[in-house]
Every structure is written in C-alpha cells, then in structure tokens.
Amino acid sequence: MAQDSGFPAPAYSETVLAVNFRDAQQYFLDALIQIHYAHVLMLARQKIISLSVARRCLEGLDALDVAGIRSAPYKGQCEDLFFYVQEALERLCGPENAGAMHTARSRNDIGITLYRMGVRREILSLVRYLAEARRVLLARTKEHVHTVMPAYTHTQPAQPTTLAHYLLAVVELLARDIRRLIAAFATVNRSPMGACAITTTGFPIDRDWVAALLGFEGLQFNSYGAIAATDYLTETAGAVATAMINLGKVAQDLLLWSTAEFGFLRLSDAWVQISSIMPQKRNPVPFEHMRVLAGKAFAQAQGVGVTLHNTPFGDIVDSEDDLQPLVMSMMADAIRAARLFAGAFEACEINRERMAARAHSDFLTVTELADTLVRGDALTFTQAHRLVSAAVRRLRGHYAEDAMVDSVLALAPENIGRALHTPRPDLLRALNPEYFITIRTIAGGPASPAVLSALESAEAEAAADDCWLREKSDLLDQFPARMQSARQSAEDTRR
C-alpha cells in the first residue's frame, strides 16, 4: 500500500503546481493584487468589514514585496500563487485581517477576473498593432493609386489592377479583424467578481462598484455563467485565428513578390538576412517569420477551442491554470506577426516597372477586349468570349497587342459568321492595361475614383477605431488612479 507522504506529491508539484505557479507569477500577479485592493475597499464601503480592518489589509497590500513574489521559487509550501500571497499578507497584517479580506469571494471569481484582466490588455495590444499595419497600408495606398500590377486568380495572372486596389483589400481584411477583436473585448471586459464560488454570497456586496474600480464595463451578470462560461476565451481565440489566417495569406503573397522571379518587392537592408555560405543572398525572412508566427498563433487559437470542447459547464481546471498561458502565448505571437508586417512592409521598395511589365503581358486585358466586342459589335458575351478565347489559343502563348487584334479579326468570320465592325483602334485600346483599369469605376474597383473613395472611407473607419483604442486604453490605464481615489475617500471617511 502506498504511503501518504503529504501534499504535494513530488510529481504533482513538478508537473502541475510549480509550472502553474511560475505562469501566474509571469502573467497574473499584478491583477491579483489589484483585485485584492478593490475587494477590500468594497468590503469597507459596504460596512462588511470595519475601516480599521480595511486599513490594516491595505497596509499589508502596500507592504508586499511584489518583485520578490514575482521571482520566488516554488517549494511546495502552498498550493498556488493565491495562497502564497495570502500567507504573505497574514505575516504582514495578521491572520485575522488577511482572513477578513477573503470575505464574500472565492478563488473562482478571483481567477476568472484576473484572466479577463490579462486578456483584455492583450486584445488592445493586438488591435494597436493591426491598426499600425493598416496605417502603413493606407500610406502606401496613396503612393500607388496608379501603380499598375497583375491581379492573380488560382495563382495565375488574371487581369490588370493597381497596387492600391490590392492594398485596400488587405486594409478591409484588417478592418474586419479589428472589428472582431473589438467585439471580443466587449465580451471579455465584464467583471465576474461577486460570483464567488458560483452562487454569489449572502453578504451585501456591490459588484458594480468593484467592476468599475477594476476598469470593467459591466458585469458578467449571471453568477453561474460568470464562473462556468468560457466563450470570452473562445470568442477571442476565434478572432485571433481569423486575423492570423488573413495575415498568413498576405505573408505568402509578399514572399512570392520578393522572389527574383516576381521582383515586385525588395526589403531594405535592415530587414534582410544573409546566407552563411552564399554571399549574394538577401533573404526576406521577416515575411517568413510573419507567416510562421501567424500560423503558430492560429494553432494556439485552435488549441484553446480543442481544450474547452466538450468540457462541463461549471468550475473546471480545464479553463484555468494550464490553459491561460496558451491564451497569452497566442496573443503574444499574434502581436509579433502584426508588428513584423507593419515594419517590414513600410520599409520595402516597390518595383513599379516590373509590376507594370507583368500587367502588359500574358493576355491579362482580353476580358476587356471581349467586353468591347459586346459593346461595339452587339455580340452576346458568350459569343465574344468564344471568339477571344480562340484568338488566344491561336497565338500559343506569344502575346502582343497587334497580334491579338489580328487574331480576333481573322477568326471572326468562322466564329460569329461575319467580320467585326468595331474599329481597330478601339480593339487596341481595349488591350491597354491603363484603359482596362480606368473604365472600372464601379464601387470597389481599381479605377482611381473608386480607389480614392474607398481610401477615404477606410481612413474614416481607421480614425473611428483609433478613437475606440484610445478610449479603452485610457480606461485600463486610469483604473489604478480610481482605486487610489476610492482609497483616499475611505481614509477621509475614517477620519
């Protein structure tokens, strides 16, 4: 029979408790202490504890050696960081006062609250760097309204467009990513404090006051759901996963564009790495790092969902100590990917001439040639498409504008039963990439009026998001000052 040697068993300590203790030290110590301050002030305000007890508790909190706690090794003397801090408070302000501090609360509502406090900060950071990437893209969009380039479908050159048109598509991606993160922030920034273990308490606490004191924008109202629900995590992970898929797709394009075969982009020397054996190499590895970090963050986001899938709707460790560092790592890698994108793309050179040359090749404008035949020769689009397709096949990949027009004119009698009426200059004009772009003025298209209109709307949206970011950042930056103000009010009342 195995002998009970007392808590904690060495293997349990080494594989769970010590690891979780270190994670809590890194990610959640500051939030834990802030929750202690807010709860003590509320207990005193509600006359659940006396002002003299509250004062002793606050003095104990003030005297905590936060740096020492953050670096303390785990020796199995307590279950977790909460109890480690609790024991420190008992030494500093007495067991009777430190014990009173824990009235009308639980590790359950404390834990979920500090997790939310951690992830809300990370959401704001990710929004900030995605917004910075959007700022870079908008600035480059203005530079490249008339930079002609090929658009690709199925990884093959398809039609002429402009770099501004492409970049605005990415701007819209980032805007939607930011919108999803803003929605996730609204879900996350709700306070569970006061839910206690899962059914609240018989003490007359003020949940709303604590929520406001800690920078929350309301309550996670139902106490059962405040403890049991994990959608604040899965919604955040879903928003991050989508953003990282989007960044990964853009990274793939940027890497292709940086190849010698494409030659569209050239990173500045500050962003390239060399080969240890090949002196000529200029490796665009920031885009590779961007891609792998986005992929890694996406995988971690999936890990959040997989961990929480089919878990009970209640207080469970699956959503706590072992999962939360994965959430923080997911956010950190997503932020790194967004920062890389903004920095590297802002510093890269665009080869306008190479882009334009590719747009003038490979039959990219023949859709407009078919459209011109519909307008000028009263053909159905199917007839025009069939004729132009036959002309393309006749040239066997050797594209030239004059040869393309000659081929269409020669094949018209056997394909439509007569010669074409559209003048040759109109047919040649249809094959000009600049003309192709200029007439596509439909909303969302590549023509400069459409691009400039979209640019104006994107800048207005970016300004609104920047305003939101400032507002929420101020909310989180200022709550410690509100806590100090509440403490001063308590001190004034005592006097």
User: What pTM, to 2 d.p., does this model score?
Assistant: 0.94
pLDDT of 489 reads 82
- 1 within some domain: no
Shared-domain flag, residues 270 and 383: no
pLDDT for the residue 6: 83
For residue 8, cis peptide bond before it (omega within 30 degrees of 0): yes
Residues above pLDDT 70, as percent of the chain: 99
Q: Check whether residue 274 and residue 339 sit in a common domain.
A: yes
In a domain, 495, yes or no: no
456-486 pLDDT, tens digit per residue, is 999 999 999 999 999 999 999 998 888 888 8
- C-alpha–C-alpha distance, residues 22 and 292, integer Å: 27
Q: Are residues 61 and 172 in the same domain?
A: no
Q: Determine which of 38-52, 295-309, 476-490 has the lowest per-residue pLDDT on average.
A: 476-490
The tens digit of pLDDT for each residue in 329-348 reads 999 999 999 999 999 999 99
Q: Are residues 171 and 267 in the same domain?
A: yes
The residue-averaged pLDDT of 177-202 equals 98
Mean pLDDT for 437-447 is 97
Among 68, 103, 138, identify where a domain stops. 103
Mean pLDDT of 199-212: 98
Model confidence at 7: pLDDT above 90: no
pLDDT at 350: 96
398-408 confidence digits (pLDDT tens) = 999 999 999 99
pLDDT value of residue 490: 77
Report how far Cα 455 is from the mean position of its chain's Cα atoms: 22
Q: What is the mean predicted confidence (pLDDT) over 166-172?
A: 98
State the pLDDT at residue 492.
Answer: 74
The answer on pLDDT for 285 being more than 90 is yes
Q: Tokens at residue 351, please?
A: 């080869």
- pLDDT at residue 331, as a whole number: 98
List, for residues 231-261, the tens digit of each pLDDT value: 999 999 999 999 999 999 999 999 999 999 9
Confidence of residue 40 (pLDDT cuts 50, 70, 90): very high
Q: Are residues 332 and 370 in the same domain?
A: no
Q: What is the CATH number of the domain that holds 259?
A: 1.20.200.10
Q: What local confidence, expressed as pLDDT, does residue 159 receive?
A: 97
In a domain, 492, yes or no: no
Domain of 346?
119-128+162-208+215-352+454-478
Domain shared by 24 and 72, yes or no: yes
- 3-state SS of the chain? CCCCCCCCCHHHHHHHHHHHHHHHHHHCHHHHHHHHHHHHHHHHHCCCCCHHHHHHHHHHHHHCCHHHHHHCCCCCCCCCHHHHHHHHHHHHHCHHHHHHHCCCCCHHHHHHHHHHHHHHHHHHHHHHHHHHHHHHHHHHHHHCCCCEEEEEECCEEEEEEEHHHHHHHHHHHHHHHHHHHHHHHHHHCCECCCCCCCCCCCCCCCHHHHHHHCCCCCECCCHHHHHHCCHHHHHHHHHHHHHHHHHHHHHHHHHHHCCCCCCCEECCHHHCECCCCCCCCCECHHHHHHHHHHHHHHHHHHHHHHHHCCCCCCCCHHHCCCCHHHHHHHHHHHHHHHHHHHHHHHHCEECHHHHHHHHCCCCCCHHHHHHHHHHHHCCCHHHHHHHHHHHHHHHCCCCCHHHHHHHHHHHHHHHHCCCCCCCHHHHHHHCCHHHHHHCCCCCCCCCHHHHHHHHHHHHHHHHHHHHHHHHHHHHHHHHHHHHHHHHHHHHHHHC
pLDDT for residue 2 is more than 80: no
Total domains present in the chain: 3
What average pLDDT does this structure show over 218-224?
97
The answer to whether position 154 is within a domain reads no
Give the CATH number for residue 50: 1.10.275.10
pLDDT band with cut points at 50, 70 and 90 for residue 487: confident
Look at residue 324 and tell me if it is in a domain.
Answer: yes
At residue 488, the pLDDT reads 85
The reply to whether 141 falls in a domain is no
Domain assignment of residue 3, yes or no = no
Q: Are residues 281 and 427 in the same domain?
A: no
Task: Determine the average pLDDT of the residues in 43-64.
Answer: 96
Give the per-residue pLDDT at 179.
98
Does residue 5 lie in a domain region?
A: no
The answer on 223 and 75 residing in a single domain is no
Q: Mark whether 202 and 79 lie in a shared domain.
A: no
Span 341-396, pLDDT tens digits: 999 999 999 999 999 999 999 999 999 999 999 999 999 999 999 999 999 999 99
Q: Do both 202 and 304 map to the same domain?
A: yes
pLDDT digits (tens, 9 = 90+) for 56-113: 999 999 999 999 999 999 998 899 999 999 999 999 999 999 999 999 999 999 999 9
Q: Could you tell me the pLDDT band of residue 493, with boundaries at 50, 70 and 90?
A: low
Angle at 461 between CA 459 and CA 465, to 5 degrees: 115
**Dihedral class, residue 94 (left if φ above 0, else alpha if ψ from -120 to 50, else beta):** left
Domain-ending residue, one of 35, 70, 103: 103
Q: Do 282 and 195 have their domain in common?
A: yes
Same domain, 84 and 222: no
